Structure 1
Amino acid sequence: MDGVIDEQDLDAVKAMIGGAEAAQTELSDADRDGDLDEDDLDLIGRIIRGGPADVTLIDSAGRVVTVKTPVRRIVPLHMRHATAIIVLGGEDAIVGVGSTVHDRDLLFSNLGDLPSLGSHKEPDPEAIMGLNPDLVITFTQLSPIDHLDDKLPPKAALVRFDLSMAESLRGEMMALGYLLGGREAVRDYEVWYDTYMGTVSDRVSDIAEEDRVRVFLEREKSADSNPSVRWAYASDTGYTDLCDLAGGRNIAKEKIDYNGEVEAEWVMEENPEVIIGLSYNGGYGAEDDSLLRAYREGIMGDPGLSLVDAVKSDRVYVISGDFALGPQMTIGTVLVAKWLYPDLFADLDPEAIHREFLEEFMHLDPDLAGAGAFVYPSMGV
């Protein structure tokens, strides 16, 4: 249960069969036939060798799912899932995509002609079934009309991965690597991920809690929102993970659970040193940074925030959801760390890391890092 299938698993299951290991894990019965025996050892060995096998995993919704490998036909219902598949070398197996992929030609130039299957919130089960997929990947949270669990046939394994939370992203990528047969690609991604995430973790680890930068994390408001409130992120999201990983103190953690509205007056009283806004109007589908800039200007010009240190010292930033979450969460983490502690991370260049990601993992022209709109002000500010 460490996320890696290796010789240690064979040793553990042998011990369980022999009675030396008292507690079986949820996945020790690898072939799911109700018996722990030599057949399980044989299956685990085939998975380690990368041969054809039924691989059973626990997805991020806590569901036990069995997937027949190698996977030949994949449907990712969100751009994060499509990105992960490309990073792990499975692009050629993608047969249909969700709307967020079609909306981002810059990032998914090779997938634009594939059938559109609705959105991750409103998928089209009939269209999905028509493609005869081996694997469908979507999010953990069920929307009111996401009936994929009931409508997809057993042959189409449905796996729910969020690819947004720091504690699960690495394991989700590893699990997908097993399904796609991309063991080497997984190792390459892990080295890249661990290098930058480890650097950030090491450097902020010595900062005492009372010395950490106080941050207000918020989401872009709709035009008809109450002007006296802000939408705050407190915990249990990939966005809040960025702040935690980068050594910030999220001021909303002691105010609310998860996320929700808070009074602008409360934000003023708490007086954060930095404000970071999350926007879904930028990203790889944006023509320019005008919408991100307008969002920041709205924060800077809000009378209810005019006395906040973050506004007075010009430490208000906006980051795109395209860029902050998913397999490229590493870039978002480095960027937030640089915003919070510019001197401590002066040697790290988030734009260069973005270019590295595009070239090495997405197999794209690294100059695409200069297109779209990912942060405001720019990464160099």
Structure 2
Amino acid sequence: MKCLPKLGPLFFALALVLPAAAHAAPQTVKDVLGRQVKVDLPAKRVVLAFYFEDYMAIGGEKAFDKVVGISREAWEGWRPANWSLFTAKRPSLKTVADVGEVEVQTFSVEKVLALKPDVVVLADWQYKGLGPDVKRLEDAGLPVVVVDYNMELPANHYASTVLLGKIAGEEKRARQIADEYKHAVEQVQGRIAKAKLPKPRFYVEFGNKGPAEYSFSYGKGMWGPLGSLAGGDNIAAPFVEWYGPMNPEKVLAAQPEVVFIAGTESTKNPTSMLLGQGVDRTVASQRLQGFTQRSGWSSLPAVRNKRVYGVYQGASRTVLDYTMVQFMAKALYPSLFKDMNPEANYLNFYKRYLPVAAGGTFTAGM
């Protein structure tokens, strides 16, 4: 009994250590493919192959203190103005190791292994694209977790947001963002269901090739289901499974009532649709007008009624693409959404959840 006072400091130290150890214990999570993956959470070393903006919004800027590798081409190469915006605020992003990019087949398993991450976060399409290389990562003992915003399935958006929150150690913040996404989509669909109006026919095209050449339209992924969530009837659905160009004659024959042209900040093509960070609204509208001059388009209801709109490519496949659902719904059903300002909601998301302020043009009309 006389020895107990001497053990007091030891017991006190153990009391401090044990909760921390319990907090760091491995947890089994379910990813969007239904895979059960054991991961030490919150992760201290993360390889993040996609959804960079989402991860920072969900985990806060500090979440990138634990990111040791990224697929840099999928950020800097695809959205250079967005990359510049974030690196101006956080220059250390430029020093994060680049593990290569799946789509252009530069992703390096060896680089990932050398970083010794606690978890590798892949988009669904990256997981499928890597094929047997995923097994190489798992055989080396690296947990691989799959998330998805590309399919535009509300259930995947919600689950991916919550899962990224667990990885970053910000579950409460993640659920708040996920709930806001769910509420926004349900609000749009609720109004449309109550109105019981016919579904307007819409056509979406990635405007990266300019008016002279038809570029990708979308079936099951990205803008296709986004437009469906907004209550529209996608004319590309019977002809394009995932993404690819539609025959111009089929576009004319379908007589879309609303047309959306997606654009980025890229200036490589002087006639491409221009939208995004730092883009002037007048220039965006001029580029959009160019698409209406295509052969035969003057006969389209969308062109005759000036219902041709620009949407920002970078605002798809992300938890904040509910703002694009809002914009598309407003274009499809203008009388139902007069009170809604989707672009302001997009900018406000940045103010609330990201360390940088977005500025430019992210939606456009004629």
Q: Once the two structures are superposed, what CA deviation does each residue of 1:258-308 show, in whole Å capped at 9, x if it has no partner?
A: 343332122212211101123344565665568855652342110132210
Q: Of residues 50, 54, 69 in structure 2, which corresponds to 1:96?
A: 69
Of 366, 370, 375, the match for 2:359: 370
Looking at structure 2, the residues matched to 162 and 221 of structure 1 have their Cα atoms a distance apart, in angstroms, of 24
Residue 132 of structure 2 corresponds to residue 119 of structure 1: no
How has the CA–CA distance of structure 1 residues 284 and 256 changed in structure 2, closer, same or farther, with 3 Å as cutoff?
A: closer
Contact (CA 8 Å) 1:105, 1:285: kept in 2 or not?
A: no
Name the structure 2 match of 1:192: 180
**What is the CA-CA distance between 1:150 and the residue it aligns to?**
4.0
Verify the 8 A CA contact 2:102 2:130 in the aligned structure 1. no
Alpha-carbon distance in structure 2 between the residues aligned to 1:288 and 1:132: 43
- State whether structure 2 residue 146 is matched by structure 1 residue 160: yes
Aligned residues of 2:343 and 2:363 also touching (Cα < 8 A)? no
Q: Distance in 2 between matches of 1:94 and 1:289?
A: 35
Provide the rounded CA distance (Å) in 2 between the counterparts of 1:244 and 1:305: 23
- Tell me, what secondary structure is at the counterpart of 2:38? strand
Aligned length: 321
Task: Kindly indicate whether residue 185 of structure 2 is the aligned counterpart of residue 178 of structure 1.
Answer: no
Partner of 2:23: 51
1:216 aligns with one of 203, 206, 212 = 203
Equivalent positions of 1:15-94 (< 5 A) are 51-78=23-50, 80-89=51-60, 90-94=63-67
Paired amino acid for 2:70? V
CA distance in 1, matches of 2:285, 2:253: 25
Separation of aligned partners in 2, 1:116 and 1:242: 31
Distance 1:370 1:215, change over 3 A: same
**How much does 1:81 deviate?**
3.8
- Counting aligned pairs with the same residue, the percent is 23
State the shift of 1:161 in Å: 1.7
Amino acid of the structure 2 residue aligned with 1:237: G
For residues 52-85 of structure 1, the C-alpha deviation after alignment (integer angstroms, 9 at most, x for no partner) is 332333433454422122201112122x244234
Q: TM-score when scaled to structure 1?
A: 0.74
Q: Identify which range, 112-121 or 347-356, moves more after superposition.
A: 112-121
Task: In structure 2, give the amino acid aligned to 1:133.
Answer: P
**Aligned-partner residue type, residue 313 of structure 2:** G
Q: What does 1:1-381 align with in structure 2 at a 5 Å threshold? A: 51-78=23-50, 80-89=51-60, 90-99=63-72, 100-102=74-76, 103=80, 104-107=83-86, 109-110=89-90, 111-121=93-103, 122-142=106-126, 148-152=133-137, 154-164=140-150, 165-167=152-154, 168-208=156-196, 211-220=198-207, 222=209, 227=213, 231-234=216-219, 236-280=220-264, 281=266, 288=280, 293=285, 296-364=288-356, 368-371=357-360, 373-377=361-365
User: C-alpha distance in 1, partners of 2:68/2:239?
Assistant: 45
1:190 shift after superposition: 2.6
What value does the CA root-mean-square deviation take over the aligned residues?
A: 3.0
Secondary structure of 1:329's match?
A: helix
Which one is further off, 195-204 or 289-298? 289-298
Q: Point out where structure 2 has 5 or more consecutive residues left out of the alignment.
A: 1-18, 267-273
Residues 1:370 and 1:272: Cα distance change in structure 2 (over 3 Å): same
State the TM-score, normalizing by the size of structure 2. 0.76
1:256 deviation in Å? 4.4
The answer to whether the 8 Å contact 2:32/2:159 transfers is: no
On the 8 A contact 2:58/2:161 being kept in 1, the answer is no
Offset of residue 248 of structure 1: 1.1
Partner Cα separation in structure 1 for residue 183 and residue 302 of structure 2 = 30
Q: Which has the higher helix share?
A: 2
Distance in 2 between the 1:226 and 1:354 partners?
30
* Structure with more relative contact order (C-alpha pairs < 8 Å, separation 6 or more): 2
Q: Which residue of 2 aligns with 1:39?
A: none
Residues 257 and 115 of structure 1: CA distance in aligned 2, closer, same or farther (over 3 Å): closer
Asked whether the 8 Å contact 1:218–1:278 carries over to 2, the reply is yes
Structure 1: distance between partners of 2:236 and 2:207: 16
Is the Cα–Cα contact under 8 Å of residues 81 and 137 in structure 1 kept in the other structure? no
Q: Secondary structure at the match of 1:347?
A: coil
| Aligned amino acid, residue 131 of structure 1 | L
